[in-house]
Amino acid sequence: MSFILALLFAAPLEVHYLVKEEVTGWQPIEPDDVERTLGQTALEVLTKSGGIKLVAITEKEAKQKPPKYLLRVLGRMIDEAETHTVYLSFEPGTGSDLGSLRASQTMALGRLPKATMLARITDSAKQAAGDLWKGLEGAVTRVQKATPPPPLTGELPQIPWKWADVVTPKVVSLRAADDLYSKDGAVRKAALRELTSLVLAKAPPRNALEACALKHPDTEIRKGCLVALRPVARESLPTQRVVIEVFRQDQDSQIVQEASDQMQYFVGLSQADAIAAWIERASKAEVYGPFAELGDQPNLDLAIARCMIAAGKRPKYQRSKAACIELLKPVPHERRFAILWPLLTEVDPDSPRYFEGAGEREGSIGTDWQRAVEALLEDAPRFVAGLDEVLWRRYERTLSSSSLDLLASHAEPNEKLTKRMLEAVQTGGNRAAMSALRRFADESEAVRPLILEGVSEMLATESYHKSISKNDLEQLVKRCKGEKR
């Protein structure tokens, strides 16, 4: 109810949209008819609440002048599976604090009357649009109120993509297909060589290799079948779907890497599926694919948060979140905050949300803790409110050198932090704290008297750490008084 009331007092979010049915080898319904069905159904669901206003745009117009918010409604038939998949993608402009969202739904259409096919496509479009709106409605309210995304806390939801079952056609009267499963290793390898030589000529050898890549019990043969599919995977939509399924499901790292390499050449909606699979796997802390080139992608924020937690559930010395942190590069500051803050504020070392550090050695070796804080501060308009408390708490608990270094170089001067830095200088002789006091004296007239008083007392009582020289303290006094140094 609160969401509906919010919308009543806010102008609808203007979103441009385009609808396209991809033309494939199996087209039991005219693409124009499918496009009309997809467009009418999806748009009806998404505009029902009044939260968004949809404006039509062409692909050419979207490329020439990218809109602030773009909704793509795309569809595709798969011939051998005789299915239709509808994809809905919400794509905000580059650098937006509103992340991309994507939903999909697949329906079987084989051997059905045209009217029944259209009814099923309508149902799938309704379901996909409903799933998209579930993730979008809160974001629309937030954008209308100009509020940042909330921190990703609590039990995180699964990545909201629905994958259709992948079934390969049964192969009959092809001896090599049977020989692939022979108990004799030499026979299996001979069959693989024969099928590889035939894969471009006929469908049955390709189908045999696809089934093998999906479920053969021998890892070496399974990988060989996948490698044999390379030349057809660039063109055959059913093969591309098999390669993506292998990437999603196989547990052998070499096979997963081979599938990922093949997926980099996919285009159109197969490329969208490949990206979805990379993000899904990344959410399990298994990062593959060309993320450095992909930029911002649908549901990337949720995937990164899940990635870090999944990494934190591994055995003690395998918990590095470095690969997950790298995924943050295309994410703007406000969304980074929503991802990182619940993890940076975690103090329980046994929690999967906890960022590992290395105390005094952090500055020389680099740690997840240091990388995460630096990622939060990167592109931040100012020092993040409350981060000084988080950094100081980490310094007190683990003697985190990176935490003190970041406070010294970036934190905004205030009375509480100044007193802490004075204490760190007096009792620990910390050079970073000394550097912080110099910066505070230059930048803040308000804390300058406090620094002067504290340092003067150290000099008068000679109660300061031996690693700090008397000259350094005297120079700081002059700095506070505005005298030449």
DSSP class of residue 354 equals P
Contact 96, 59 (CB under 8 A): no
Distance CA 44, CA 141 (A): 19
Confidence class of residue 245 from pLDDT cuts 50, 70 and 90?
very high
Distance CA 319, CA 257 (A): 21
pLDDT, position 298: 84
pLDDT, position 1: 40
Confidence class of residue 409 from pLDDT cuts 50, 70 and 90?
very high
Confidence class of residue 270 from pLDDT cuts 50, 70 and 90?
very high
Contact 268, 89 (CB under 8 A): no
Q: For residue 294, is pLDDT > 60?
A: yes
In terms of pLDDT, which residue wins out, 299 or 213?
213
Helix (H, G, I), strand (E, B) or coil at 71: strand
pLDDT, position 443: 93
Q: For residue 101, is pLDDT > 80?
A: yes
pLDDT average, residue stretch 439-457: 94
Kindly report the average pLDDT of the chain as a whole number.
90
Identify the CATH number of the domain defined by range 11-144.
3.40.50.10070
Q: For residue 34, is pLDDT > 90?
A: yes
Contact 70, 17 (CB under 8 A): yes
pLDDT, position 480: 92
Give 181-194 pLDDT, tens digit per residue: 999 999 999 999 99
Lowest model confidence (mean pLDDT) among 57-66, 91-100, 275-284:
91-100
pLDDT average, residue stretch 261-268: 95
Contact 67, 305 (CB under 8 A): no
Q: For residue 74, is pLDDT > 90?
A: yes
Global confidence as pTM: 0.84
Pairing of strands 52-56, 69-78: unpaired
- Residue 302 host element (H or E): helix 300-312
Confidence class of residue 5 from pLDDT cuts 50, 70 and 90?
very low
Both structure tokens of 125: 């479009």
Q: Give how far Cα 296 sits from Cα of 98, 150, 266, 343, Å.
A: 11, 19, 18, 21
Give 146-156 pLDDT, tens digit per residue: 677 788 888 88
pLDDT average, residue stretch 113-137: 91
**Ramachandran angles phi, psi of 229, nearest 5°:** -85, -5
Which residue blocks in 318-386 are alpha helix, DSSP H?
A: 322-326, 333-344, 362-365, 368-377
Burial of 350 (0-12, 13-18, 19+ CB in 10 A): exposed
Q: For residue 6, is pLDDT > 50?
A: no
Give 149-180 pLDDT, tens digit per residue: 788 888 888 887 778 888 898 898 899 999 99
- Let me know the angle formed at the C-alpha of 310 by 308 and 316, rounded to the nearest 5 degrees: 95
Instruction: Tell me the helices (H) and strands (E) count for the chain, helix number first.
Output: 24, 5
Pairing of strands 83-92, 101-108: antiparallel
Contact 257, 290 (CB under 8 A): no
Q: For residue 8, is pLDDT > 60?
A: no
Q: For residue 7, is pLDDT > 70?
A: no
pLDDT, position 100: 81
Q: For residue 2, is pLDDT > 60?
A: no
pLDDT average, residue stretch 106-125: 92
Architecture of the domain spanning 175-279? Alpha Horseshoe (1.25)
pLDDT, position 94: 59
Domain edges within the chain: 11-144, 175-279, 283-380
Lowest model confidence (mean pLDDT) among 67-81, 190-204, 353-367:
353-367
Order across the sheet with 69-78: list the strands.
Answer: 52-56, 13-22, 69-78, 83-92, 101-108
Lowest model confidence (mean pLDDT) among 66-70, 403-407, 480-484:
480-484
Q: Give how far Cα 484 sits from Cα of 469, 473, 481, Å.
A: 19, 14, 9
Alpha carbons within 13 A on the beta-carbon side of 345: 14
pLDDT, position 3: 40
